[in-house]
Structure 1
Amino acid sequence: MPHEDTPYAEVPPRILAGRDALAEAMAAEAVGVDARAGSPANIVAVGLTRDPFPDGQWAVSVHVVNAATTADLRALLAPLVGEATAQELPLVVHVTGMVRQQRASAQRVALPDRTKKRRPYCAGISTGHIRVGGSGTLGCLAVRQTTGETVVLSNNHVIALRTRISPTDQPGKDDPKIGDQILQPGPGDGGVKADNSVAFLESWVPLVEASQPEGTWALVDAAVARCAVLAPKSRLVLDDQDSLIPFHGRHRSATVGLEVRKYGRTTGLTRGRVTEIGVKVRLHPPDGSAGFVAGMREQITVAENKGPKEFISLGGDSGSLWIADTGDNLDGWPVALLCGGNDEKGPAGKCFASRIETVKRMLDIQLLTEYDPPA
């Protein structure tokens, strides 16, 4: 079903139906690294795109682990939507490889080094839950509208790791809990002592196992923690000149073709553009480990802006805030929260992110910045 935060008005119903049919088939079968081309086990994500069509027509975008053709996918679709619909449905296939949450325990980093302890702390640097292990990126600061508390924003899998196999599951006794310490730098970067504690876990949106019906998958991978240490420059983001700069507090809705940039713990400043909306994706654990596979829906895809030449995100960049990179009066407006990307061993240049308007609504927050955007 269409969701309120995704701009579906221009998407033809047959395109939505094709995406949903592939997503339903994908959810019913676990991803296999050796999956055959036309198997649901070969699909890691499906979305809606206008790339690369010059006339702007919509198509279903399919991300696969192993090489597959449109004929392979039409054969999969035929029993689901009918032979005629399957044959005429516009499809775009990407050999993306495995898609993973991008938390890291050890990873090369771009300069300036964002893995070190920084006070005042700011957006775009290493953070993590004291017991989760690894490190991600502190996306930004925010204010909870119900309490007025200042909080740090990042991914659930970075600062909370609260998951559930099904929507009715209850937390386990060893799960992270409200009040747990959030460190800067994160545990993967040596943040293990009490003086690295900067916040206390406050709220999160639970992640849902991808084996569940895709209609129950999480809309965002996001969590907030109540700040324990505050300083004026906390409202800024670290750029690649080792300077602290402002960004807007309002948001801009992601549309296909929108150019964006982010500042992350591992790759620093990278630029890309939104290539897909309404994405349903299976996010595997980081670092190639086995375990909980999160099902995410209504995500966006960001691809490297000049072709698949480099990685726009790597392990440790999860939690980074994508902001508009448009050079106009909406430049710097937040767009999405990075939550995963394709395996480093696969083709370069793809990552997935949760819409920031959905993050703000579900966690009841407003982003905190020193920049006061025009009305």
Structure 2
Amino acid sequence: MARISRVLEDETLRLMSLPNVVGVGRGYKATAGVRTSAECIVVLVKQKVPGRVLEAQDMVPAEVRGIPTDVVEVGEIRFLGARVGAADHGEENVSSTVGAPTSGSCARRLERMRPARPGVSIGHYQTTAGTFGAVVWDNKTGEPFILSCNHVLANATSGRDGRARAGDPIVQPGAADGGTVERDRIAVLERFVPIHMSGRVPACMASRAAEKAMNNWLRATGTSARVEIVIRQFPFAANTVDAALARPLRPDSIEPSILDLGELRGVTEPELGMAVRKSGRTTGVTTGEITSVDTTVRVVYSGNVTAIFRDQIVTSPMADGGDSGSVLVDAEVRAVGLLFAGSDRSTIYNRMTSVLDALGVTT
């Protein structure tokens, strides 16, 4: 394991630069579709392509510095916010092959709930909807906070783009499920870990308004020129978590018991093959297993805008759009990860220990 980790540290950037590669991590080698107990470098690709149509330098090598590789087709990995409003927010469903929820009605997860419980719809007032992941407590003050993803509670902000700021309204249910600031505000944005993206990131609402006004003026003058305001992000910054906190307006408006799972019983590290569950806004309680750890993934936000995340957990498909923010737990209901992205063949989570450390909270 230590050797694979060292090789990953040295070779991930090169492997990620290969065409079609969307992730690189550590997992078990599969032979003829059967998983073995041998660890390998797992290379996640958007689509498997026959070797005969690839240039030699574009092929994933059979081994890297003596360690075997395993190429796994996962499709395009996207942030898993709810689909409604996808054109504005870069959030889509993934038409997941995830099985039916194992328990609980999903309809109630989309409704207003007081006290609200983890597993239900929530979101920043300018986003669609995601999942209330857990109640966590500030390490210094002991105050309770709502935990979810940055792209759920903070509009996928980098902290410099004007997309969100501390004090913004958080609604439960999320806007995609009918939540409004006037009726359903449950919290305000407390703090977040910035998301660093590459490509052309859509500007904030104020910038879009200015863009519209300038284009109206240009149109009135008869010119064909048009203005587009975008924010360019640093192209190679790597993220480790997509996470944010919201401060409830009233402490008694939330409770810590996760819908259909119960209260968290601590935190643990992910292990290959670990049986896991999550409780999410869209698909309810689903089960799966961890297929890759120490994984670097490229996640699509919108169009050509992507974000790189390091040290991630990959599971079998367990989620769909709107499940972002769900907490991944083991059989003993210990927190393992925070769901934020996925495809029709896999689901991606931040390590919970990384999330808690970054935000200065505990479960």
User: 1:341 — aligned with what?
Assistant: 342
User: 1:198 — aligned with what?
Assistant: 186
CA distance 1:13–1:178, shift in 2 (3 Å): closer
Contact 2:7 2:65 in 1 (8 A): no
SS of 1:206 mapped into structure 2: coil
CA distance 1:162–1:282, shift in 2 (3 Å): same
Contact 1:12 1:58 in 2 (8 A): no
| 1:76 aligns to 2:65 (yes or no) | no
Greater share of strand: 2
Cα distance between partner residues in 2 of 1:58 and 1:74: 25
Amino acid at match of 1:267: T
CA distance 1:184–1:219, shift in 2 (3 Å): same
Aligned counterpart for 2:255 among listed residues 227, 234, 239: 234
Amino acid at match of 2:271: T
Cα distance between partner residues in 1 of 2:168 and 2:55: 45
Contact 2:62 2:69 in 1 (8 A): no
Amino acid at match of 2:305: F
Cα distance between partner residues in 1 of 2:298 and 2:82: 18
Aligned counterpart for 2:326 among listed residues 303, 320, 329: 320
| 1:21 aligns to 2:10 (yes or no) | no
1:187 CA drift (Å): 0.7
CA distance 1:73–1:362, shift in 2 (3 Å): farther
User: 1:139 — aligned with what?
Assistant: 133
Q: Deviations over 1:66-112 (max 9, x none)?
A: 2235785973378xxxx896585411112211111000144799623
SS of 1:231 mapped into structure 2: helix
| 1:101 aligns to 2:79 (yes or no) | yes
Cα distance between partner residues in 1 of 2:73 and 2:63: 23
1:58 CA drift (Å): 2.4
Contact 1:77 1:86 in 2 (8 A): no
User: 2:204 — aligned with what?
Assistant: none
Amino acid at match of 2:37: G
1:15 CA drift (Å): 5.0
Contact 2:186 2:253 in 1 (8 A): no
User: 1:300 — aligned with what?
Assistant: 313
Q: Deviations over 1:106-162 (max 9, x none)?
A: 47996232111011101001000011x210000001111123221100000111034
Aligned counterpart for 1:43 among listed residues 21, 39, 47: 21
Percent identity over the alignment? 29
Contact 1:141 1:153 in 2 (8 A): yes
User: 1:258 — aligned with what?
Assistant: 274
Cα distance between partner residues in 1 of 2:56 and 2:314: 23
Cα distance between partner residues in 2 of 1:271 and 1:11: 28
SS of 1:163 mapped into structure 2: coil
User: 2:30 — aligned with what?
Assistant: 52
Cα distance between partner residues in 1 of 2:63 and 2:258: 47
CA distance 1:291–1:226, shift in 2 (3 Å): farther
CA distance 1:156–1:84, shift in 2 (3 Å): closer
| 1:128 aligns to 2:128 (yes or no) | no
| 1:360 aligns to 2:344 (yes or no) | no
1:233 CA drift (Å): 6.3
User: 1:154 — aligned with what?
Assistant: 148
Cα distance between partner residues in 2 of 1:333 and 1:181: 30
CA distance 1:265–1:291, shift in 2 (3 Å): farther
**Unaligned regions of 5+ residues in structure 2, if any?**
85-92, 200-233
**Unaligned regions of 5+ residues in structure 1, if any?**
1-7, 26-39, 165-169, 305-311, 326-330, 343-347, 368-375
Aligned counterpart for 2:289 among listed residues 261, 267, 273: 273
SS of 1:236 mapped into structure 2: coil
| 1:171 aligns to 2:160 (yes or no) | yes
Cα distance between partner residues in 1 of 2:163 and 2:55: 39
| 1:62 aligns to 2:11 (yes or no) | no
Contact 2:4 2:67 in 1 (8 A): no
Cα distance between partner residues in 2 of 1:157 and 1:84: 36
Q: Deviations over 1:188-220 (max 9, x none)?
A: 111113231111111111111146565x31110
CA distance 1:51–1:264, shift in 2 (3 Å): farther
SS of 1:117 mapped into structure 2: coil
SS of 1:255 mapped into structure 2: coil
Cα distance between partner residues in 2 of 1:322 and 1:206: 22
User: 2:230 — aligned with what?
Assistant: none
Amino acid at match of 1:96: V
Aligned residue pairs total 308
Q: Deviations over 1:251-280 (max 9, x none)?
A: 110011111100000010100111111111
Cα distance between partner residues in 2 of 1:41 and 1:55: 27
SS of 1:319 mapped into structure 2: coil
Q: Deviations over 1:28-70 (max 9, x none)?
A: xxxxxxxxxxxx3411111111243766332111121222357
Amino acid at match of 2:116: Y
Cα distance between partner residues in 1 of 2:5 and 2:308: 25
Cα distance between partner residues in 2 of 1:100 and 1:261: 20
